[in-house]
Amino acid sequence: MKSITLAFHKPYLVLSQFTDRESRQTLGEFISIDGVYSAGRLDYRSEGLLILSSQEDILYHLTDPIFQHTKTYCAQVEGLVSSEAVGRLKGGPVIHDQEFLPVFVGEIDAPNVEPRPVRNYHPTSWLKIVLCEGKKHQVRRMTAAVGLPTLRLVRTAIGGYELGNLAPGRWQILKPDDIRRLFENLESRAIQAQKSSLISGSSYAKHR
């Protein structure tokens, strides 16, 4: 089988795995390609871009923390955003003695995402948050720590590859140029040579 990498728009209340003992919705209900594995996870209640691949080096470079790969999220939060809250988020808050790296964060207008009702909290705001680490429930924990509980969380980009107009529940195969964008914005300069090697490697170049 040829190497394959694909982008999937994970809907709300879908697990980032192919089976579940509790009969919840999984990736298997949307993706019928054998031999692909998820590069990291989105939690059950989160939505947006998920990358799956049959190629171990892609999975490794997207998930190992040493590469500090950027991930972009839009978070709808309860309450009005203050400059103090943004400053605390940017600096990387300490939560229960666990330190978080500094992030990019800014208030935005409601993004162009598929409408979905949330609990009737007013007012609400939207934040754009870019992480270069992936600790469990990180965005939700960080926004809650500054008094802005997350009501809805959508991952809109990984590296330089954006979710775009891909509809919830749909997937598309990535071409070499897509994979180049996927590996943009890597924070660790030590792996730039490896990144170039990956992109020009035969397993990427052969799949079109």
All domains in the chain, ordered by first residue:
5-66+160-206 (3.30.70.580), 70-158 (3.30.70.1560)
Q: Is the pLDDT of residue 60 over 60?
A: yes
pLDDT score at 203: 43
Amino acid at 132: C
Backbone angles phi, psi at 153, to 5 degrees: -135, 125
**pLDDT mean over 41-62:** 95
* Bridge partners, 122 (sequence order): none
At residue 67, the pLDDT reads 83
Residue 144 CA to residue 208 CA, distance in Å, equals 43
On whether the pTM is more than 0.85, the answer is yes
Averaged pLDDT for residues 69-92: 93
pLDDT-derived band at 189, boundaries 50, 70, 90: very low
User: Which candidate in 43, 64, 97, 177 is catalytic?
Assistant: 43
- The residue that leads in pLDDT, 66 or 12, is 12
**Mean pLDDT across the chain:** 87
Active site residue 34: no
Q: What is the pLDDT of residues 84-137, one digit of tens each?
A: 999 999 988 888 888 888 889 999 999 988 888 887 778 999 999 999 888 889
Collapsing DSSP to helix, strand or coil, 176 comes out as helix
